[in-house]
Structure 1
Amino acid sequence: MIGELVVVSAGIATPSSSQLLGERLADASARFLAASDTPVTVRHIELRTLASHLAHQLVSQVPSPALSDAYAALGRAVGVIVVSPVFNASYSGLFKLFFDLLDEDAMNARPVLLAATGGTARHSLVIDTALLPLFHYLKATVAPLGVFAATADWGDPSGHLAARIDAAARAFAELVVSRPGTPVADEFELDAGFTDLLRGS
């Protein structure tokens, strides 16, 4: 059975550097997974297209069909790649709102690759200081290498960004192969067998 990788990007431009980084990470991850006999399809969720849906759910507690579909995709993904631009030394509010409204059990033990974009390299610690604590709280299984891309990285002829993308994607693919995300129910409730497995790990 072919699994699905889900890429969640929170850029606001069209296209955004966060979207572009997510695409490159997904392409590299899919390539490494295919080489490991674990073919996947890739789904991209651009949060800018769901901004009004997220605001409506926040005040009404009623998700739109589009938002429910996005959350369901996360709940069945074998792995998730998340990319946020850096706003005021952290992830964007749009990014945080999306994961605030997601049932926290949906990410339980799910492999996640963390990535971020920003104007300068001085923002690179955002992965460790902001993204990592959030996904530890959500009980995700975080890949060992994250990727931060500053504006200057995109035109750097050295190929350092490409090398970092490949290294992170390879480590993420190895994690997905060894511990793929387990689908959860539509209500994002874990079944008893999976809960017992987690308690015994």
Structure 2
Amino acid sequence: MGARRIAVVSAGLSNPSTTRLLADRMTQAVLTELASRDVEASVDVFELRDHAHDITNNLLTGFAPPALESAINAVVSSDAIIAVTPIFSTSYSGLFKSFIDVLDPDALKGTPVLLGANAGTARHSLAIDYAIRPLFTYLHADPVPTGVFAASADWGASADGVAPLGDRIARGARELADAIIRRDPAGGPDPFDPATYLGEGRSFGHLLGGLSGE
């Protein structure tokens, strides 16, 4: 079984950030789970705040500067993604959504994703399921059932009636490891398939001149 590549997308704004801390713990849990199954994996970590200006320029011009283009290529060609965002105003951060907006809508099709989010209070714990999961489902990615939410109180003791953060991370890691193993290595689109460079439902006329393929 070949080595797998995992892309970690962290949308924290501060340095250091609890978003990155959560992303690191989730990543380590996935690597440990894969190692227990004799699966090699490498990790590329992307702090979106390092690409914030490039993301904005891409949205304005339609072109990704080289550093952002490299990050995008690494994310969309990975075997799995760990995506973690802070929760602002009951949903994912604007920076997180802006990065998603510069991706091709079909680029994450079938890619397993472990979702994570953090906020100051557990009142936002449902944000993964009502905001973040639908976003990746729309992109035809394959988010695993368990999302990992961390409130400020989770960085110490667990809340009453809620599984400790470590347990939730471990469960999500197992689910992502299962999904990675089920998926073919580098299970991205076939570069020799016309749908890869045309896009589904697009014609050469659409590609060359913005002409309708209908």
Per the normalisation by structure 1, the TM-score is 0.89
Counterpart among 179, 184, 190 of residue 175 in structure 1: 179
Q: Which has the higher helix share?
A: 1
Alpha-carbon separation, structure 1, partners of 2:180 and 2:44: 16
1:2, distance to aligned residue in structure 2 (A) = 1.4
Q: Is the 8 A contact 1:144 1:172 kept in 2?
A: no
1:18-68, CA deviations, whole angstroms, 9 ceiling, x for partnerless residues? Answer: 111111101110111111222101111000000000011111111011111
Amino acid at match of 2:11: A
What percent of counterpart residues are identical? 42
- Relative to structure 1, the CA distance from residue 33 to residue 191 in structure 2 (aligned partners, 3 Å threshold; closer, same or farther) is same
> 1:33-48, aligned counterparts within 5 Å?
33-48=34-49
Amino acid at match of 1:182: G
Amino acid at match of 2:177: A
1:190, distance to aligned residue in structure 2 (A) = 5.1
Alpha-carbon separation, structure 2, partners of 1:179 and 1:8: 20
Residue 104 of structure 1 aligns to a residue whose secondary structure is: coil
Residue 114 of structure 2 aligns to a residue whose secondary structure is: strand
Say yes or no: does 1:162 pair with 2:155.
no
Alpha-carbon separation, structure 1, partners of 2:158 and 2:115: 24
Alpha-carbon separation, structure 2, partners of 1:143 and 1:21: 17
Alpha-carbon separation, structure 1, partners of 2:82 and 2:57: 25
Per the normalisation by structure 2, the TM-score is 0.84
CA RMSD of aligned residues (A): 2.0
* Structure 1, 155-164 or 66-75: larger mean CA deviation: 155-164
Q: Is the 8 A contact 1:74 1:106 kept in 2?
A: no
* Structure 1, 89-98 or 162-171: larger mean CA deviation: 162-171
1:185, distance to aligned residue in structure 2 (A) = 6.8
Alpha-carbon separation, structure 2, partners of 1:68 and 1:134: 21
Alpha-carbon separation, structure 2, partners of 1:136 and 1:41: 25
Say yes or no: does 1:63 pair with 2:64.
yes
> 1:114-193, aligned counterparts within 5 Å?
114-156=115-157, 160-180=164-184, 182-184=187-189, 191=196
2:79 corresponds to which residue?
Answer: 78
1:183, distance to aligned residue in structure 2 (A) = 2.6
Structure 1 segments, 4+ long, off by >2 Å, are 183-186, 189-192
Q: Which runs of 5+ in 2 are unaligned?
A: 201-214
1:70-112, CA deviations, whole angstroms, 9 ceiling, x for partnerless residues? Answer: 1111122110000000000000000000001100211000000
Alpha-carbon separation, structure 1, partners of 2:177 and 2:15: 28
Q: Is the 8 A contact 2:158 2:165 kept in 1?
A: no
Alpha-carbon separation, structure 1, partners of 2:109 and 2:96: 18
Alpha-carbon separation, structure 2, partners of 1:32 and 1:104: 30
Alpha-carbon separation, structure 2, partners of 1:16 and 1:170: 25
Say yes or no: does 1:8 pair with 2:9.
yes
Q: Is the 8 A contact 2:120 2:151 kept in 1?
A: yes
Q: Is the 8 A contact 1:82 1:114 kept in 2?
A: yes
Alpha-carbon separation, structure 1, partners of 2:195 and 2:54: 26
1:112 corresponds to which residue?
Answer: 113
Amino acid at match of 2:13: I
Q: Is the 8 A contact 1:105 1:190 kept in 2?
A: no
2:204 corresponds to which residue?
Answer: none
